[in-house]
Amino acid sequence: MTSNHDKQLRSPVGFSRRTLIQTGYSSLAGIGLTSMLAGRSKAAETESPAVGSSRAKQIVIVFLTGAASHHDTFDMKPDAPAEIRGEFNPVSTSVSRIQICEHLPHLAQRADRYAVVRTLSHKDNNHLMSTHHVLTGHFQPGAFFDKVASRDDWPCYSSGLGFLRPRHDGIPSGVNLPTFLLQGPLTWPGQHAGFLGPKFDPWQIKGDPQKPDFKVDSLTLSPGIDVSRLDRRQALLDEVNTQQRQLGQAAEATRLTDDQQLAFSILTSSRLAQAFELNRETDSVRDRYGRHTTGQSLLVARRLIEVGVPVVQVNIGAAQTWDNHGNIFPTLKDRLLPPLDQGVAGLLDDLCDTGRLDETLVLMLGEFGRTPKINAGKGRDHWGPCFFGFFAGGGVQGGQVIGRSDDIGAYPVTSAYSPDDVGATVYKLLGIPPEAEVHDRLGRPSRLNSGNVIEPLFG
């Protein structure tokens, strides 16, 4: 049976719907921000100190939903039998000892800027469970095959950050774009705050940034509303809130007033809204990323981190786009790899040119790898025991490959790293101690993350 929460997650509105405890107030204001702003926490006001040599101020997660084949991208096996090595050839990169797929020429030229971990590993082969594991750094509670998102899940990285380091400046802790991962009745876990509650959910943007009419309506004033009229409505809201306090509902009224002030702060400041206005970029910059959904979504991600959003997740494709059980080679060659190659290379160039690469981690991975042996449909099936992760910026030492898989890319032969370790690395770079304490819906304390930082990434 589909829960009400899952119905909320399927909303066609650009941002995911939240608990509507302030509906009356937002209607009075004539603005559509309540689902984003409800209940910003007052807890954990003090920022956690940076951990170790943390350098990243923000993280861009490039998520290859469905799971890209490591054999045909960043861990090729040219000496393996034909049924293992596939149809693609490796090419040399800007780093002499590293080779990657011939259909990633732009990234081959920039190998000195990133590190590839070839020994990510876990025990699952299910999309939903594995997506939760990769995007939260935790195994899904009560996991079973195709267990959909629930409020018992662990929080995604932006939600963990938002809980431990709440902010009140109108900038969200996380934004996911350009799609929400669901298929039929299945809502992918790992996309929201889980047991921390909806007030820590990242903003969900649904829209194609390459289209001329792309906009985020929830950050646009309603027709006929201007800043001066908002000021007058603010005065009316102040009066209503005064009445609320007189009615003895001080605690709730205070929280609602804070949310309203945050909404007005966003709408009367162009900084966040302008991040979505790609027409402000030159044609040359937009062309650098590529005039396709992948490239323009990555450009939006760069603009969001520039205005202070600390975690941006770009889903490359809808749910299971990279789930290539059949015809994998023409699909990768003609449809998936070229825009990914151009878009990620454009992002790395842009971050490097603007001096932001050192403070921005770019993390690219899927939920698992693909089987070594090509199946009868000329595709590859699910494979959790071995897959790759791509890390650039944020203090990562580029030009290196970490770990080695066996001769057919089935299992690690050097140290394996779990999604828990990816999570520990992400949190460390964001200045959050992985051992920080969070509480579930019953108030029970838990360690935020139990993995270990992938230290070789940092030299």
Domain ranges of the chain: 1-39+218-275, 40-216+289-458
Q: What integer is the mean pLDDT of 230-243?
A: 61
Is residue 113 over pLDDT 70?
A: yes
Is residue 239 over pLDDT 70?
A: no
**According to the model, what pLDDT value does residue 52 have?**
39
Q: What SS3 state is found at 392?
A: strand
Q: What is d(CA 27, CA 444) in angstroms, rounded to the nearest whole number?
A: 36
Q: What SS3 state is found at 39?
A: coil
**Is the separation of the CB atoms in 427 and 160 below 8 Å?**
yes
Give kind and range of the element (H or E) at residue 29: helix 23-29
Q: What is d(CA 102, CA 91) in angstroms, rounded to the nearest whole number?
A: 5
Q: Which range is least confidently modeled, 71-80, 254-263, 313-322, 330-339?
A: 254-263
Q: What integer is the mean pLDDT of 32-60?
A: 50
Cα-Cα-Cα-Cα torsion 53, 418, 339, 272, nearest 10 degrees, comes to -50
Is residue 326 over pLDDT 60?
A: yes
Ordered alpha helix ranges (H), 268-418: 270-274, 283-289, 293-306, 328-331, 337-353
**Which one-letter amino acid corresponds to residue 310?**
P
**According to the model, what pLDDT value does residue 7 have?**
37
Both tokens assigned to 337: 């790899």
Q: What SS3 state is found at 92?
A: strand
Q: What integer is the mean pLDDT of 168-187?
A: 91
Q: Which range is least confidently modeled, 11-15, 115-119, 390-394?
A: 11-15
Quick one: pLDDT band at residue 213, thresholds 50, 70, 90?
Answer: confident
Write the pLDDT tens digit of every residue in 334-385: 999 999 999 999 999 999 999 999 999 999 999 999 999 999 999 999 999 9
**According to the model, what pLDDT value does residue 255 have?**
41
**According to the model, what pLDDT value does residue 166 have?**
92
Q: What is d(CA 1, CA 6) in angstroms, rounded to the nearest whole number?
A: 10
Which CATH number among 3.40.720.10, 3.40.710.10, 3.20.20.140, 1.10.940.10 corresponds to the domain 40-216+289-458? Answer: 3.40.720.10
**According to the model, what pLDDT value does residue 317 have?**
94
**According to the model, what pLDDT value does residue 379 have?**
98
**According to the model, what pLDDT value does residue 4 have?**
41
Is residue 263 over pLDDT 80?
A: no
Closest CA to 138 of 181, 196, 200, 87: 196
Q: What integer is the mean pLDDT of 300-314?
A: 97
Q: What SS3 state is found at 110?
A: coil
Burial (CB < 10 A; 0-12, 13-18, 19+), residue 308, is middle
Share above pLDDT 70 across residues of the chain, in percent, rounded to a whole number: 76
Write the pLDDT tens digit of every residue in 47-56: 433 333 557 8
**According to the model, what pLDDT value does residue 93 have?**
98
CB atoms within 10 A of CB 404: 13
**According to the model, what pLDDT value does residue 32 have?**
40
Average pLDDT, the chain: 84
**According to the model, what pLDDT value does residue 333 have?**
98
Q: What integer is the mean pLDDT of 22-47?
A: 36
Q: How many helices (H) and strands (E) does the chain have?
A: 15, 16
Comparing 216 with 375, the larger pLDDT belongs to 375
Is residue 8 over pLDDT 50?
A: no
Query: What is the full DSSP assignment across 329-365?
Result: HHHIIIIIHHHHHHHHHHHHHHHHHTT-GGGEEEEEE
**According to the model, what pLDDT value does residue 225 have?**
53
Is residue 204 over pLDDT 50?
A: yes
**Is the separation of the CB atoms in 164 and 436 below 8 Å?**
yes
**Which one-letter amino acid corresponds to residue 159?**
S
Is residue 282 over pLDDT 90?
A: yes
Q: Which range is least confidently modeled, 95-104, 189-198, 217-226?
A: 217-226
